[in-house]
């Protein structure tokens, strides 16, 4: 196990029955609050993709924090992938299912030039709905998915298979 994976797993918390009964929520806010944890996680998120992306997409909500930190680390910008209704102006969106409900994400379609290489960053890969929807949305906007990277993969939930693309995970539980 890598140093980054050990660091992330040591800081992560499991919250039972959140946001609904039966769900074991993996909380990575302690990783964000720890300076070494944040640095190590962000370095590991982007390492396999250095030089292959133009911008980092942070997926709402904790993906914003990891994405923005990783973008600052790499000297790139950050594209916010927001929940429906949170962005002003013209947007395009993608609906998907979560392990505990349904959701929709959106981006400004004119945010980036066509063909922009986008590295998607999120906190946790669970069932894969969010990452699959984000990848589809980025391609529909005319951009290219340069990679998918998450801090923590919950392998037992099968998200990697649902997404059907290569995914880099800093740690797995």
| Strand bridging mode 117-125 / 144-153 | parallel
Catalytic residue among 39, 99, 104, 144: 99
Q: In what order do the strands lie in the sheet with 55-59?
A: 91-98, 101-108, 77-83, 55-59, 117-125, 144-153, 168-172
Mean of the pLDDT values across residues 144-159? 96
How far apart (Å, rounded) are the C-alpha atoms in residues 112 and 79? Answer: 9
Residue 128 DSSP label: S
pLDDT score recorded for residue 149:
98
Mean of the pLDDT values across residues 46-63? 97
| Contacts of 90 by beta carbon, 8 Å cutoff, 6+ apart | 108, 109, 110
Task: Express each pLDDT in 110-151 by its tens digit.
Answer: 999 999 999 999 999 998 999 999 999 999 999 999 999 999
Catalytic residue among 26, 62, 82, 117: 62
pTM reported for the whole predicted model: 0.95
Give catalytic status of residue 43 as yes or no.
Answer: no
Mean of the pLDDT values across residues 29-47? 98
Task: Express each pLDDT in 72-121 by its tens digit.
Answer: 999 999 999 999 999 999 999 999 977 667 899 999 999 999 999 999 99
Give catalytic status of residue 140 as yes or no.
Answer: no
Structure tokens at 104: 């929709």
Domain boundaries, the chain: 3-172
Assigned CATH for 3-172: 3.40.50.2020
């Amino acid at each position: 196990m890598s140093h980054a994976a050990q660091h992330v797993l040591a800081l992560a918390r499991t919250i039972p029955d959140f946001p609904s009964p039966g769900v074991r929520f993996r909380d990575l806010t302690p990783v964000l609050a720890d300076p070494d944890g944040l640095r190590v996680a962000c370095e590991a998120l982007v390492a396999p993709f250095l030089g292959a992306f133009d911008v980092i997409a942070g997926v709402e909500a904790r993906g914003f924090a990891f994405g923005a930190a990783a973008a600052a680390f790499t000297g790139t910008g950050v594209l916010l992938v927001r929940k429906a209704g949170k962005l002003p102006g013209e947007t395009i969106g993608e609906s998907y299912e979560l392990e505990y409900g349904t959701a929709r994400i959106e981006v400004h379609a004119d945010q980036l030039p066509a063909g922009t290489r986008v590295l998607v960053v999120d906190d946790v890969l669970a069932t894969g709905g969010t990452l699959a929807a984000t990848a589809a949305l980025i391609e529909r906007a005319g951009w290219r998915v340069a990679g998918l990277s998450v801090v923590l993969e919950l392998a037992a939930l099968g998200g990697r298979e649902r997404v059907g693309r290569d995914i880099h995970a800093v740690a797995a539980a």
